[in-house]
């Protein structure tokens, strides 16, 4: 798989750039061309931004736009699935632009494989993560009152071509989640790798391991 790192990039600029890649891949597919060489996985970080998915509820944003401006954050409505979430420094955001028909599975399994990628990665750091039934993403203590999300997932797909993706909290400032009901939940928490391990994490090392895990789990038969 081809990986590219956009480093720190404004959310809307990244959205425009990945949309271009997404539409280019779809156009090639419609024309009957091979799409293998057009697939890419983007990794990046964003300045402070809150994004609301097409099925989300605006009242899950708990503060005003004026307040967001005062804390140098923005608010964007997007065309992915899922509700509201936060992106910011210390969080790895991934945008896989893939033709799932090249890999032999559908959208539901794709989401499951993204979750598997994160579970495998986090286990390598001795963070025991798992799925929570009925809720997309990756969680810790999923079946207990202490359930807390460490990775959010929200995608868009057309003709089995994907965009948007995942957000893994590595060194994320978790206070930023207090301004929302994360992913629409009012009774579940949010965490990060740094919080769970008690110290900052080398985010570049996490990216390297993440690339390995993505290549392994998205390509396996």
Tens of pLDDT, residue by residue over 47-80, are 999 998 887 888 888 888 898 888 899 999 999 9
Q: Which of 44, 151, 176, 183 is catalytic?
A: 183
Would you state the pLDDT for residue 183? Answer: 65
- Ordered DSSP codes for the chain: --EEEEEE--HHHHHHHHHHHHHHHHHHHHTT---GGG-EEEEEE-SSEEEE-TT--GGGB-S-HHHHHHTT-EEEE-SSSSSEEEE-TTEEEEEEE-BGGGTT--HHHHHHHHHHHHHHHHHHTT---EEETTEEEEEESTTSTT-EEEEEEEEEEETTEEEEEEEEESS--GGGGGGB-GGG-SS-EE--HHHHHTS---HHHHHHHHHHHHHHHHH--
Residue numbers in the chain where pLDDT is lower than 50 = none
Residue-range domain boundaries for the chain = 3-219
Whether 183 is a known active-site residue: answer yes
Position 185 scores a pLDDT of 67
Global pTM value: 0.94
* Residue 150 neighbours by CB under 8 Å, 6+ apart: 118, 122, 127, 129, 138, 139, 140, 168, 169, 190, 191, 192, 193, 196
- pLDDT recorded at residue 219: 87
138-141, Cβ contacts within 8 angstroms, sequence gap of 24 or more: 139/188, 140/191, 140/196
Q: What's the CATH number of domain 3-219, 3.40.605.10, 3.30.930.10, 3.40.50.970, 3.40.190.10?
A: 3.30.930.10
């Amino acid at each position: 798989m081809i990986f590219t790192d956009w480093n720190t990039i404004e959310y809307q600029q990244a959205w425009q750039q990945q949309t271009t890649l997404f539409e280019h891949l779809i156009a090639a597919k419609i024309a009957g061309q091979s799409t293998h060489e057009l697939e890419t996985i983007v990794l990046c970080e964003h300045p402070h931004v809150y994004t609301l998915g097409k099925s989300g509820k605006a009242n899950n944003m708990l503060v005003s736009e004026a307040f967001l401006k005062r804390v140098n954050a923005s608010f964007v409505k997007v065309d992915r699935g899922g509700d509201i979430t936060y992106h910011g420094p210390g969080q790895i955001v991934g945008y896989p632009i893939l033709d799932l028909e090249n890999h032999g599975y559908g959208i539901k399994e794709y989401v499951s494989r993204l979750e598997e990628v994160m579970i495998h990665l986090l286990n390598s750091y001795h963070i025991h993560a798992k799925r929570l039934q009925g809720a997309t993403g990756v969680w810790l203590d999923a079946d207990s009152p202490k359930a807390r999300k460490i990775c959010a997932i929200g995608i868009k797909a057309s003709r089995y071509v994907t965009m948007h993706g995942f957000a893994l909290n590595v060194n994320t400032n978790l206070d930023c989640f207090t301004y929302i009901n994360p992913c629409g939940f009012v009774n579940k928490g949010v965490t990060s790798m740094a919080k769970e391990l008690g110290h900052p994490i080398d985010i570049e090392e996490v990216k390297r391991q993440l690339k390995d895990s993505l290549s392994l789990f998205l390509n396996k038969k």
